[in-house]
Structure 1
């Protein structure tokens, strides 16, 4: 047990600062001490899962034993879900798009969207699609669809792609003022090339497949001005266990990547489900998996004070069970980490929001997750965090070093209030706001903690996402619930199918 309970710092510089979560008036060291026996059992269970894929009592939605294999994903090796050959194929796929495909549309929902959006946001940012091809290093524009059944946005996406195709055709015609633009299109110079990536394990995902079919048909109708290619990411099984999407892809000759067995959607960002998006934008796949691998290695100790995932799980579990803090506000201080908070919503809600424990006893376990972002939500949510019910843990995320860090200029020296903040880098002002928020919360006995990323890059993102994924595995053991099923999701699905059939009739 360390002498100073303030933070756990890894060799990479990644920090879990739990100063405001452990101590007087917070979770106590006695609370941790009283949990040590169960923590040891939880660690053994996670180690067993890592070694064998076996999780006590876990069954698939079909009621059959099912392995849990997400801990294998950071390790690229022959015979693993991520192998040297599969990673090389992903990189080859990404390179094949450079300067050959104008736009990619990724269709997916849940884990097939949320993790992919994280990789896009961190690597590309908001303005990727407005940059020139040269500024994108030849990689295509990228859009997301199929993550909500929204008629307006789906229509507008189609119209936007049609407009882009029209502009490309016009520019091709302008390049040769003596050539007919239509001939230019016919020769391929002005053809707008779109890659549709449809991600569904079964191929029957309503949201994803309905949007995909609408967009596919609309864009195919534009040939030859627009060329449409399709890639399917689905269950790799053929034969008797072949999925609808796998069969369709085989019939149509679409290239395929895998949604691996044993990896739930909320953990799939480390698999081809997420890495296919990484390949499309030139995201550093090797560094991302290396960060996840380093975090997994750091979490193989049974010392709770040196195991980030186990410590995070223990503190959050005790905060909820002993102190009623059963809401978790995930609050990164970075615009492009908002999608991490949205990804975490699914991870926490589906993994730990459980009606029964493993013995079938009704426990109604789980924290309600909430997305918040930096100073945006200090002006929107902090009133509730600071003065509302004491039922929350606020989890901050800090970026220590920014790639770009403008200094606030003294543009209006006659305005004293504005001159006071001049000469400060934006990052210093940003983190001062976080520190003030954290200190104010703690002063009123309100639990909070901070993850510190040394930089916002692929490696440290891999560390953060993997820490959160492994944390829910540990907490599932502490709460004695299955962190890898999602039976509550099936309730609405059983009702939706008949409703849709009735509507069609």
Structure 2
């Protein structure tokens, strides 16, 4: 369902050179012997997920959708990016949804938080709070604020506050788990062996997708197919490993410092944000890794396109996502006067024009701009495809990180800003 095309990299990517390394790392991933191996639970999750918990999530999500129209998802990083990426990719940006899903706890912006609180004044809404510890600053603040508002909005019914709150957290410990037990909130589990940015196929992402009416059975089916397709130690046949190796070669052999993830479908914008966290937080350690950036074309061709084409060279390469078939397409009608001169386009559908734009930009950026390009060709943008691509990228990221000889599953740099912030705030 994803094909890695390397004919436009401009540089020789010697896959043969990586054969033994890839085999060793593949075995290291599946035997769980590498750095951070205690967080490799995601590798077999698509088949080993808790079936009874999954059934319970379906039941609770249906109950919540029957109670309220508005749902606030509270979380930061991997606790919200994956589900939001899935919802936008699969449902689109202007879908006729029966429920409104809002996000909080991913920012400390007082204006954003104030406006969302005002929007929900005097309304019954549900809260899904996602945090392993319950003490992460951004979601902890948001949970307190929105829980207080919900209690106020419920009035005399606030004795049933617990029915409107779901906590996705640690199985047995942490501040949020303690709150959930004391207040009788419904809970689902964040497994100890799966880190936040690798958690999209767990209750962290799946439960929110259910609330958005995404077919999660198909999501898991796609992930199972990716699990099967990437369980192969041959870099010539494993498309996810081929992508990891190409990135590694452009970094180490040719000194490129940044990778720009480019999509031609605007509903893939949050996929790019999820991808940036996955690779940035996994690889950016010990002075290593590619800086992950992103753009949406053709929109950003009218801004960043100038720099990519004519700006500083040997800094960045592009990874282009090409969608073969979209859920919806449009034709362009002929106009008798043709004042805009568009009648020549009427033989194409809008998606065909978009893909011709992709090919034209690819040629311009490689042949004239001398910017290497990797093309990832995907079948479509449905539930099954999301499950496939999320697992596929996680597997590729693990390979890519281990090629750098670093732990893909920790984030020591993230803790530094927290320590500085807590000190300035006077936290004991």
CA deviation after TM superposition for structure 1 residue 226, in Å:
8.2
Q: Distance in 1 between matches of 2:336 and 2:285?
A: 55
* Cα RMSD (Å): 1.9
Q: 2:7 maps to which residue? A: 19
Q: How does 1:243-258 map to 2 (within 5 A)?
A: 243-258=174-189
- Residue 420 in structure 1 maps to residue 420 in structure 2: no
Matched position secondary structure for 2:406:
coil
* Corresponding residue of 1:291: 222
Q: Is the 8 A contact 1:97 1:140 kept in 2?
A: no
1:372 is aligned to: 295
Give 1:384-403 correspondences, 5 Å limit. Answer: 384-388=307-311, 389-403=313-327
Match of 1:169 in 2: none
Q: Distance in 2 between matches of 1:414 and 1:142?
A: 42
- 1: distance between equivalents of 2:35 and 2:66? 49
Equivalent position of 2:239 in the other structure: 308
CA contact (8 A) 2:44 2:227 kept: no
Distance of 1:109 and 1:234 partners within structure 2:
13
Q: Counterpart in 2 of 1:125? A: 92
Gaps of 5+ in 2: none
CA distance, structure 2, for counterparts of residue 200 and residue 327 of structure 1 = 31
Taking the aligned partners of 2:156 and 2:260, their CA distance within structure 1 comes to 48
Question: Does residue 1:324 correspond to 2:259, yes or no?
Answer: no
User: CA separation in 2, counterparts of 1:479 and 1:269?
Assistant: 24
Aligned to 1:153: 112
Relative to the length of structure 1, the TM-score reads 0.80
Q: Distance in 1 between matches of 2:12 and 2:27?
A: 24
Specify the alignment match of 2:25 in structure 1.
42
- TM-score of the two chains, using structure 2 as the length reference: 0.93
CA distance in 1, matches of 2:155, 2:412: 46
C-alpha distance in 2 between matches for 1:406 and 1:218: 44
Which of these residues, 18, 27, 35, is aligned with residue 57 of structure 1?
Answer: 35
Q: Work out the CA distance in 2 between the residues paired with 1:282 and 1:474.
A: 33
User: Once the 2 structures are TM-superposed, how far is the Cα of residue 321 of structure 1 from its aligned partner?
Assistant: 0.5
Contact (CA 8 Å) 1:27, 1:315: kept in 2 or not?
no
Contact 1:408 1:421 (8 Å CA) reproduced: yes
Per-residue displacement from partner, 1:193-251 (whole Å, max 9, x unpaired)? 311111110000100111121122123222339875211111111xxxx2100001111
Post-superposition CA distance 1:331-377 (Å, at most 9, x none): 1111111000000111111111111xxxxxxxx11000111012011
Higher RCO (C-alpha 8 Å, min separation 6): 2
Give me the whole-angstrom Cα distance separating, in 2, the residues matched to 1:298 and 1:354. Answer: 29
Q: Residue 199 of structure 2 aligns to a residue in which SS?
A: helix
Q: Which residue of 2 aligns with 1:498?
A: 423
Consecutive unaligned residues in structure 1, runs of 5 or more: 1-12, 59-64, 166-191, 356-363
Instruction: Say which of 333, 336, 349 aligns to 2:264.
Output: 333
2:306 to 364, 376, 383: 383
1:273 aligns with 2:273: no
Number of equivalenced pairs: 422
CA shift at 1:26, angstroms?
1.3
In structure 2, the CA distance between the partners of 1:226 and 1:405, relative to structure 1 (3 Å rule), is farther
Which whole-Å CA distance do the structure 2 matches of 1:411 and 1:14 have between them?
Answer: 39
Could you report, residue by residue, the CA deviation over 1:272-301 in whole angstroms, capped at 9, with x for unpaired residues? Answer: 101110111121111111111111211122
Q: Distance in 1 between matches of 2:338 and 2:393?
A: 48
Moved more, 277-286 or 107-116: 277-286
Instruction: Report if aligned partners of 1:94, 1:281 keep a CA contact under 8 Å in 2.
Output: no
In 2: Cα distance, 1:43 partner to 1:467 partner: 14
**Whole-angstrom distance in 2 between the partners of 1:481 and 1:397:** 27
Matched, 1:230 2:165: yes
What CA distance in whole angstroms lies between the structure 1 residues aligned with 2:3 and 2:18?
23
Range with greater deviation from structure 2 (223-232 or 153-162): 223-232
Structure whose alpha-carbon radius of gyration is higher: 1
* Structure 1 CA distance for aligned equivalents of residues 338 and 241 of structure 2: 53
Aligned to 1:417, what secondary structure does the other structure show? Answer: coil
Q: Do the aligned residues in 1 keep the contact of 2:22 with 2:234 (CA within 8 Å)?
A: no
Q: Higher mean Cα deviation, 470-479 or 214-223?
A: 214-223
Residue 416 of structure 1 and its aligned partner are, at CA, apart by 5.3
What corresponds to 1:87 in structure 2? 54
Which range moves more in the overlay, 412-421 or 279-288? Answer: 412-421
1:156-195: per-residue Cα shift (whole Å, max 9, x none)? Answer: 1111122xx5xxxxxxxxxxxxxxxxxxxxxxxxxx4311
